Amino acid sequence: MPLTPDPPNYAKIIRDGLWHNNPGLVQLLGLCPLMAVTTNSVNGLGLGIATLVTLLASNLLVALARDFIRPEIRIPVFVLIIASNVTAIDLLMQAYFYELHAILGIFIPLIVTNCIIIGRAEAFAARHNAPAATLDGLMMGLGFLLVLVVLGGLRELLAQGTLLADAHLMFGEPARGLTLRVSADFQGLLLAALPPGAFIGLGLLLALKNWIDARLRS
């Protein structure tokens, strides 16, 4: 596949991934895992890192292999590359973060079907060089990770009155001391822990982003 006629604009790639074309807040892709696992900030961080690494590795491999892939079989090849990366990440998480892996469950293997991954492979990595594709994967993954962590933290705070309550699942037993609590007698908002709370929380984040964009344009 030929390179794009224009050289990649690295500053624009960064802005698009983190804000202007954020996968979770603008493209609205990957909403199923985003809604399902963001019951707390650590779950969001775990899935966000797994998605980021998948995007990074898949974009790089697609960019490196694009000259050797026939156009008519590009999608199956992209899926094969993505599935290989996800399998490796799934096995590594099962080996080193077993409890977190058990909580995230099927949503780790389902990264293969995440529209963000295949979308960036087709729309960007297959048309740009390796450095630009790698940066795009990093920024899109980081943008998605931030949405997962912020939404998970918001729901955890409202439902349990804590932040980073399960940090030990990622960072080991010493991280239990990282837990932040609103108060000992905090009465949580049950709605925030339920599926409707995820929709409401995402809606609030979307409204906040649109408000900020409107203020910046004015």
Can you name the residues that pair with 180 across neighbouring β-strands? 163
Residue 129 CA from chain centroid, whole number:
23
3-state secondary structure the chain: CCCCCCCCCHHHHHHHHHHHCCCCCCCCCCHHHHHHHCCCHHHHHHHHHHHHHHHHHHHHHHHHHHHHCCHHHHHHHHHHHHHHHHHHHHHHHHHHCHHHHHHHHHHCHHHHHCHHHHHHHHHCHHHCCHHHHHHHHHHHHHHHHHHHHHHHHHHHHHHHCEECCCCHHHHCHHHHHHCEECCCCCCCCHHHHCHHHHHHHHHHHHHHHHHHHHHHHC
Phi, psi dihedrals of residue 181, rounded to the nearest 5°: -120, 140
User: What pLDDT, on the 0 to 100 scale, is given for residue 184?
Assistant: 81
Q: What is the dihedral of CA 15, 19, 75, 8, to 10 degrees?
A: -10
Rounded Cα gap, residues 109 and 77, in angstroms: 18
Instruction: Say what the pLDDT of residue 218 is.
Output: 83
Cβ–Cβ under 8 Å, residues 131 and 119: no
Q: How far from the centroid of its chain's Cα atoms is residue 200's Cα?
A: 19
pLDDT tens for each residue of the chain, 218 residues long? 444 446 789 999 999 999 999 999 999 999 998 999 999 999 999 999 999 999 999 999 999 999 999 999 999 999 999 999 999 999 999 999 999 999 999 999 999 999 999 999 999 999 999 999 999 999 999 999 999 999 999 999 999 999 999 999 999 999 999 999 988 888 889 999 999 999 999 999 999 999 999 999 98
Cα gap 132→9, rounded to integer Å: 8
Quote the Cα angle for 35-176-163, to 5°.
40
Which pTM value belongs to this model?
A: 0.94
**β-pairing, 180-181 with 162-163?**
antiparallel
